[in-house]
A = this chain, B = another copy of it.
Amino acid sequence: LSEDEIVTAALELSASTPLERVSMRALAARLGVPVMTIYNYVPNKAALHELVQNRILADVVVPTTDAGPWDERMRVLQREARAAVARHVGVRFASGIAESAEATRLADGVLDILASAGFEPDDIPLAFTALFTFMLGQVEVDAMTRAASADRPVDLQMPTGVDPPVLDEAFEYGFDLLLAGLAAKLDHSRSRSPRR
């Protein structure tokens, strides 16, 4: 038994029940070990969730500076991050998002991209938070949609009938709104102080 096996088993179980409700007992059963054996590898459930989060985000790469214009790099990064989370059906990040080293790595990636784009130092935390907020909401919306279509075929939680197939498009749409707004701020601040 190893930490890796435990994380893998947790992810497997989270395909059929939300990770937050996978019990240590069920996890142990899956692994074929007594419950308390898990505690030799993982101090508690919160730590397990952090390990799972690290695993999920580990292979999201932050595009290097030479990979294109800042907004394209941002788009790629966010798209990949969202996909990595969405790939695991029962995973949600409601709490403790940045106790994980990988989440910090990605957040730093976003900050680097913003810095390389030339944003005013004052704007960087604001821009970061806007992108972070949207991303968090998107992960939540994705999870809600998956939960809804697991229960009943359709019947989404949005009143009009915003269909699930629209969701990828909606992500791009919303994200583009943010990026376009940020690009406009950048032009504006550049035209006011042309040097640097």
Contacts and interface: CB of A to CB of B under 8 A. Distances in A.
A35 interface: no
Given A159-B107, A160-B125, A170 B133 contact: yes
Given A92-B94, A134-B133, A174-B178, A160 B99 contact: no
Contact of A129 (B126, B162, B180): B162
Interface string A102-134: 001001100100000000000011111110111
Contact of A140 (B127, B136, B158): B136
Given A94-B92, A140-B137, A144-B95, A129 B176 contact: no
- For A97, A126, A180, the residue with the greatest tally of chain B CB atoms inside 10 Å of its CB is A126
Nearest to A172: B126
Interface in A155-196: 157-162, 166-167, 169-171, 173-174, 176-178, 180-182, 184
Interface residues of A, number: 49
A96 interface: yes
* Count of identical protomers in the assembly: 2
A168 to B, nearest CB: 11
A141 B133 contact: yes
- For A111, A129, A180, the residue with the greatest tally of chain B CB atoms inside 10 Å of its CB is A129
B159 A111 contact: yes
A78 interface: no
Interface in A75-111: 92, 94-99, 104, 107-108, 111
B138 A158 contact: no
A138 B141 CA distance: 13
A135 B144 CA distance: 14
